[in-house]
């Protein structure tokens, strides 16, 4: 079967706009800028969460979306400069709890029930996309803890882990990492992707994501993840947010570096890439990122070592990425990174223990890796038995956890 007919794709690229003092431009001015650009281009440009959202129309090839991305952003950069502003393409703002995405819409899908089955199947693969796109390692004045604070904080509710859905018991949903969207464009929307800072990377990444979803769309079957598979999915999602392309995933009963998984996925969808006018060798940035285990977040982290003050980082970062290809240049000279160690039960317990202080609500522990209640509760029991925390039931706040020094 072929769930997608015709095979199309697009991206909604959320880009911040800042003034000469590096302050975010507010919604009223953004609306004026979006209105001006909408009149010039036949694309539904809009605003979203203090960003300009560049929807790149319906595309059928890598060359087409690459040309559109350049055309629209060249003009957008010119327009905002006329208002003494600049575009700031980044997955997160180093100072504010603001996260931006490069959603990829994969079309054209006519059967929502089959789309829900595909959503369940794609759950295994969306953390791989998240690791590839990681680009928000600086947020709320801190940097370095995660390569995607956006995924770690679920983009303030705008990208959330999936869960096994049954078409017979389903309602329309919004905000999942990947799910069918039938209200308008008839697509499978992949939301886990951080905003790209590189135009060429966005074109390559959108084409690859579309090709792989198209590939999976030829293999749709009824599927529900087992509890063990779902736990592994959430562990991998967390690893993607923490380590980017250095992550090591739980994969088919073993551990595997995420770059090896990406390498195999690119080969699997070779025919679908061809349908989109591309071959693997055209995706030069992706291939180099896989070879070196480098993602956009690594460029930002290197910059943060030179500018540890978050205000200075914001200023330097915004001035560099406005040229669009600074990450592309960084890739050519940066040294490869080593893979991170795979998670084991001890490291997972340690991550949960790290968020517990004095009087921490038990739900904070659940938010660590977003495990379902049986897994999260078992971890709390483990920490209680180990004597590292104690549990208190209160009338005012419910269950509280206290770390024992």
Sign of CA dihedral 163, 166, 169, 174: positive
Nearest to 196 by CA among 315, 311, 316, 328: 328
Instruction: Decide: 75 and 87 in contact? Cβ < 8 Å.
Output: no
Question: What does the pLDDT look like over 85-123, one tens digit per residue?
Answer: 999 999 999 998 899 999 999 999 999 999 999 999 999
Q: What confidence score (pLDDT) does residue 84 get?
A: 94
3-state per-residue secondary structure call for 40-74: HCCCCCEECCCCEEEECCCECCHHHHHHHHHHHHH
- The stretch 327-338 carries a mean pLDDT of 98
Q: What is the pLDDT of residues 147-198, one digit of tens each?
A: 999 999 988 888 889 888 988 888 888 789 999 998 878 999 999 999 999 9
Q: What pLDDT sits at residue 158?
A: 84
Nearest to 325 by CA among 205, 206, 199: 199
Q: How far apart are CA 160 and CA 178, in angstroms?
A: 9
In percent, the amount of the chain with pLDDT more than 70 equals 100
Nearest CA to 93 out of 27, 129, 142 is that of 142
Task: Give the DSSP letter of residue 95.
Answer: S
pLDDT of residue 42 exceeding 90: no
Q: What is the mean pLDDT of residues 48-68?
A: 95
| Predicted confidence (pLDDT) at residue 68 exceeds the cutoff of 80 | yes
> Cα 387 to the chain's mean position, in Å?
36
Higher confidence at residue 238 or residue 157? 238
What is the sign of the dihedral through the CA atoms of 169, 175, 178 and 179? positive
Q: What is the mean pLDDT of the chain?
A: 95
- Domain annotation for the chain: domains and CATH numbers: 4-333 (3.30.590.20), 345-403 (1.10.10.10)
């Amino acid at each position: 079967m072929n769930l997608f007919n015709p095979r199309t794709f697009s991206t909604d690229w959320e880009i911040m706009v800042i003034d000469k003092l590096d302050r975010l431009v507010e919604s009223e001015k953004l609306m004026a800028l979006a209105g001006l650009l909408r009149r010039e281009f036949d694309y539904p440009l809009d605003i979203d969460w203090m960003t300009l959202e560049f929807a790149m129309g319906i595309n059928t090839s890598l060359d087409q979306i690459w040309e559109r991305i350049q055309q629209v952003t060249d003009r957008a950069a010119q327009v905002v400069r006329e208002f003494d502003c600049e575009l700031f393409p980044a997955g997160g703002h180093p100072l504010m709890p603001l996260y931006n995405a490069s959603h990829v819409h994969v079309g054209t899908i006519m059967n929502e029930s089959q789309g829900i089955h595909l959503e369940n199947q794609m759950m295994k693969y969306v953390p791989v996309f998240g690791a590839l796109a990681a680009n928000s390692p600086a947020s709320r004045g801190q940097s370095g803890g995660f390569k995607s604070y956006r995924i770690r904080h679920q983009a303030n509710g705008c990208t959330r882990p999936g869960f096994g859905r049954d078409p017979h018991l389903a309602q329309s949903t919004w905000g999942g990492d990947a799910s069918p969207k039938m209200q308008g464009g008839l697509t499978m929307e992949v939301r886990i992707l951080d905003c790209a800072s590189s135009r060429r990377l966005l074109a390559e990444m959108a084409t690859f994501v579309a090709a792989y979803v198209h590939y999976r769309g030829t293999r749709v079957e009824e599927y529900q993840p087992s509890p063990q598979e779902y736990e592994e999915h959430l562990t991998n999602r967390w690893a993607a947010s923490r380590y980017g392309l250095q992550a090591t995933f739980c994969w088919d009963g073993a551990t595997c570096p995420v770059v090896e998984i990406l390498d195999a996925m690119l080969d699997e969808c070779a025919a679908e890439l061809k349908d989109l006018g591309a071959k693997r060798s055209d995706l030069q940035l992706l291939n180099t990122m896989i070879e070196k285990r480098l993602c956009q977040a690594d460029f930002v982290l290197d910059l943060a070592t030179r500018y540890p003050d978050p205000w200075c980082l914001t200023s330097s970062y915004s001035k560099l990425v406005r040229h669009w290809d600074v990450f592309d240049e960084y890739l050519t000279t940066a040294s490869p990174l080593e893979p991170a160690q795979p998670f084991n039960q001890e490291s997972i317990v340690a991550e949960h223990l790290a968020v517990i202080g004095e009087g921490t609500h038990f739900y904070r522990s659940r938010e660590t890796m977003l495990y379902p209640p049986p897994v999260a509760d078992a971890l709390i029991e483990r920490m209680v038995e180990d004597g590292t925390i104690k549990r208190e039931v209160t009338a005012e706040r419910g269950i509280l956890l206290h770390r024992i020094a």
